[in-house]
Structure 1
Amino acid sequence: MPQTTRAAATSPEVPPQPPRPSLLPASASPIHRLPDDTLQHIFSSLPLRDTFSSRSVCRQFREALSSIHFLTLLPPLRILALRHPRHHHQSSHHQHPPSLLAFDPSSSRWLRFPLSFLPFPSLSPVTASSSLLYLWADHLPSPSSDSKPPKSLVLCNPLTRSFRVLPPLGSAWSRHGTVLAAPAAAGSAVLVLTELAALSYSPGAASWRKFSLNLPSKPRSPVIVGASIYSLCDIGSPWRNQWKLFSCSIADLGGPRGWVQLERLEWGDVFDILKRPRLVRGGGSDQILMIGGLRSSFAVDAPCSTVLILRLNLGSMDWEEAGRMPPEMYRCFAGVVGQGATAVAANAGGNNKVKVFGGEGRVWFSGKRVRGKMAMWEEEEEVEKGAGSRGIWKWVDGAPGYGDGVFRVLSLMPW
């Protein structure tokens, strides 16, 4: 992943805004006499956290630093956005205004984006794409009806404080559906997947389209890479899981070709060595990461010694080991202090305590036993041609935690 910088940038595609005539009195501070384009150029060289904190200084700063023109001056920023395990309810909406908590890996700083501009009594962020945030939102009940109105998906941009409400959905979709946001190259569609069916909404459409999934089980940790969806499915028995990788083009969703199981003879037992695997987007445009507990044997109740990260190159369809969590880090998630055979045996269910999330070449790990921090793995560039990398492991401090666990993952948001 390219490193994020805070250097000032220019955008030749967007013409500079003409200076705005000043309506301030002659005694006003000289900085208030600067035109918007000059202010924007100054603030584009500052860290994002400082820039958007400055929007509360005065109306001129708020308007200048919230414009689309200013946002095009900012360098790409990929942050990990988190959401609270509990929704923001109307009873506490005014006491604790809803907000989006995010971590900027490039500066190792936490950011908080207010969501108080959204007029809904309850909000639950679920995913993100580009600079858009997707949330489940409850509507205010009608005084003339006793029934609870259905939830809606809301698209918003926390930087510009703008939003749009999609057609409402039934409660089953919001409770059990997995929301995926396709990139602009794939049509910018919004997908909601359940065990048997999927919904798709394209920009400008009047309603959702429904498709049958025809998968052997509920899709697990589906991800969008390019113009296709990839997901793990369990084709095993009630006594033993057997995970396989499935793929479907977004354009073929619900079509005659539909989902295809991806399998190669040379893959061998790659799906059997991991316990409770999950998929995450890799750093490249044709890479998928699969993360799970590394089994010590093929027995059903075999303990796990650590967390293993495998990388699939979709061009060559080859798997390789991308990373392995250091034993001392894994013991923190399992709550084991000792070493050796005793610690390995105690780690039998350890990987079940580790939550995995991320994308774009970074993977985060959180757990109830690890308070106030998360583990992070980051892909490294190849040190030499043909040589892979095991990545960098480190702790991220300052992660919020509650009695019911740490914040749940939302997504990586590339602003």
Structure 2
Amino acid sequence: MWSCTPFDVLSKIFSYLSPDSLASASSTCKQWHTCFKSYPLYTTANKPQHPPWFLAMSTRRMSSSCYAHNMARNRWHSLPLDFLTDPVRAIAPIGSLILCRPSASSTPLQLGLCNPFTKQFKLLPPLTTMRINPAIGVVFGINNKKGTLEDQNQFRIYVAGGMGEGPKGGASYEPTLEVYESEKNKWESVGWMPVEFAVRLTVWTPNESVYSQGTLYWITSARAYSVMCLEIESKQWKEVKVPMADKLEFASLVRRRERIVLVGGTSEGEVCLWELFVRETNWVLIERVPSELGQRFLGCKGSWCTTKCVGSDEAMYLYRELGTGMLVWRAVLEGDGKWEWLWVDGCCSSIRGVPSFPIKGLLIYPSIC
């Protein structure tokens, strides 16, 4: 029966498999291998059915591999990065790809895309303006006219601020915005921005951005925290205050079900999650980390200062280093909208000989196609 299964049906079944299971399936027989190689498994109408993986990439130059955690199997995998000629720093996921930049933040920005599962890397065209350490935002799966999430094969990359060359040759803040459109494969300058926002995006804003319903959000990296927003259609910038801004030891933004969620921890050992309704300025408390899991995560450190968070519609991960455990808040399967907290052991507990080091976490839908 399986040898006579049409490729479109077989491809639909394959789309439910995680990459490790898919690799095993593709080597089962000639029929399955041919389907895997020649038929599109992931298209707009046929999205991957498995949950995203947590990918850990070093924030330093010391690691020759990255590490991926498959939540469905609770298993870590080591992925060599020997195909990269120079060290890179991860910025954001774009489907099964990773947007990255050179590790040195003092060099002019040059972006690239890589897939650590297939060992592929591609440099994007140079920006229209030379910039050092700008803020970067990603919009994935967009429709050019409506700005909605419709075409899963298109994406845009927004670059704002950064240090550039001043009119007299000295360094100055670059108060402009430019965008890369995947369908055109080129950068275009799309407007100006207030100098104050350019300064704050360059000095105080990490590259993590969140997109929701026509707006890009960045959170500043220094207390008191605040959120910088860009309304894409109007090119308008604004600032949104955050709750307990001067008391949070860490703060991160993630997107959950088309809404923006702020995750922050206080010196009292508590982590809270607030939700922001789009185009509003009021935050609503929606969840707290259970105290026993919070204490397990903190251990003897007693501070949330080095904590980071990454999230998707299916799950949120609080993490620190590769070797330490992670707190995960995820949707319960068939749970009628319910979410649950659980603990995930660090990579070093599964893969021997791996040292613990600072990481940047990404949630991606891995592909070996």
**What's the TM-score once normalised by structure 1's chain length?**
0.62
Q: Note the C-alpha offset of 1:225.
A: 1.4
Match of 2:23 in 1: 52
Contact 2:324 2:356 in 1 (8 A): no
Match of 1:231 in 2: 218
Contact 2:90 2:101 in 1 (8 A): yes
- Does 2:94 correspond to 1:129? yes
Aligned in 2, Cα 1:213/1:382: closer, same or farther, shift over 3 Å? Answer: farther
- Matched residue type, 2:113: L
Query: How far does the alpha carbon of each residue in 1:65-103 deviate from its partner, in whole angstroms, 9 at most, with x for none?
Result: 2445233456433222221334489xxxxxx6x5x5332
- 1:343-354 equivalent positions in 2, closer than 5 A: 347=302, 350-354=303-307
- Matched residue type, 2:232: I
Contact 1:293 1:306 in 2 (8 A): yes
In structure 2, distance between residues paired with 1:179 and 1:376? 26
- Matched residue type, 1:393: W
Aligned in 2, Cα 1:371/1:251: closer, same or farther, shift over 3 Å? Answer: same
- Matched residue type, 2:200: S
Q: Note the C-alpha offset of 1:376.
A: 1.2
In structure 2, distance between residues paired with 1:87 and 1:169? 25
- 1:41-80 equivalent positions in 2, closer than 5 A: 43-44=14-15, 46-55=17-26, 64-67=35-38, 69-72=40-43, 75-77=48-50, 78-80=52-54
Match of 1:358 in 2: 311
- Does 2:159 correspond to 1:192? yes
In structure 2, distance between residues paired with 1:379 and 1:245? 26
In structure 1, distance between residues paired with 2:200 and 2:138? 21
Match of 1:378 in 2: 330
Match of 1:24 in 2: none
Q: Note the C-alpha offset of 1:270.
A: 4.5
- 1:276-291 equivalent positions in 2, closer than 5 A: 276-282=250-256, 284-285=257-258, 287-291=259-263
Contact 2:216 2:229 in 1 (8 A): yes
- 1:202-351 equivalent positions in 2, closer than 5 A: 202-203=181-182, 204-209=184-189, 212-214=192-194, 215=197, 217-218=200-201, 219-220=205-206, 221-233=208-220, 241-253=223-235, 258-262=236-240, 270-282=244-256, 284-285=257-258, 287-294=259-266, 303-314=267-278, 318-336=282-300, 347=302, 350-351=303-304
Q: Note the C-alpha offset of 1:228.
A: 1.0
Percent sequence identity is 21
Aligned in 2, Cα 1:379/1:70: closer, same or farther, shift over 3 Å? Answer: closer
1:392 to 340, 343, 358: 340
User: 2:111 is paired with a residue of what secondary structure?
Assistant: strand
Match of 1:201 in 2: 180
In structure 2, distance between residues paired with 1:104 and 1:323? 25
Aligned in 2, Cα 1:84/1:233: closer, same or farther, shift over 3 Å? Answer: closer
In structure 2, distance between residues paired with 1:64 and 1:382? 31
Aligned in 2, Cα 1:52/1:232: closer, same or farther, shift over 3 Å? Answer: same
Contact 1:276 1:293 in 2 (8 A): yes
Match of 1:21 in 2: none
User: 2:347 is paired with a residue of what secondary structure?
Assistant: coil
- Matched residue type, 2:226: K
User: 1:217 is paired with a residue of what secondary structure?
Assistant: helix
2:70 to 91, 104, 107: 104
- Matched residue type, 2:345: D
- Matched residue type, 1:69: P
Match of 2:168 in 1: none
In structure 2, distance between residues paired with 1:133 and 1:163? 9
Aligned in 2, Cα 1:222/1:329: closer, same or farther, shift over 3 Å? Answer: same
1:407 to 350, 359, 363: 359
> How large is the Cα RMSD of the aligned pairs?
4.4
Contact 1:280 1:358 in 2 (8 A): yes
Higher relative contact order by CA 8 Å / sep ≥ 6: 1 or 2? Answer: 2
In structure 1, distance between residues paired with 2:16 and 2:331? 27
Contact 1:222 1:279 in 2 (8 A): yes
In structure 2, distance between residues paired with 1:357 and 1:158? 19
Contact 1:400 1:407 in 2 (8 A): no
Match of 1:183 in 2: 140
Q: Note the C-alpha offset of 1:251.
A: 3.2
User: 1:352 is paired with a residue of what secondary structure?
Assistant: coil
Q: Note the C-alpha offset of 1:194.
A: 4.6
In structure 2, distance between residues paired with 1:205 and 1:169? 11
**What's the TM-score once normalised by structure 2's chain length?**
0.69
How many positions carry a matched residue from both structures?
Answer: 327
Aligned in 2, Cα 1:382/1:289: closer, same or farther, shift over 3 Å? Answer: farther
Larger CA deviation: 125-134 vs 69-78: 69-78
In structure 1, distance between residues paired with 2:333 and 2:192? 40
Aligned in 2, Cα 1:307/1:45: closer, same or farther, shift over 3 Å? Answer: closer
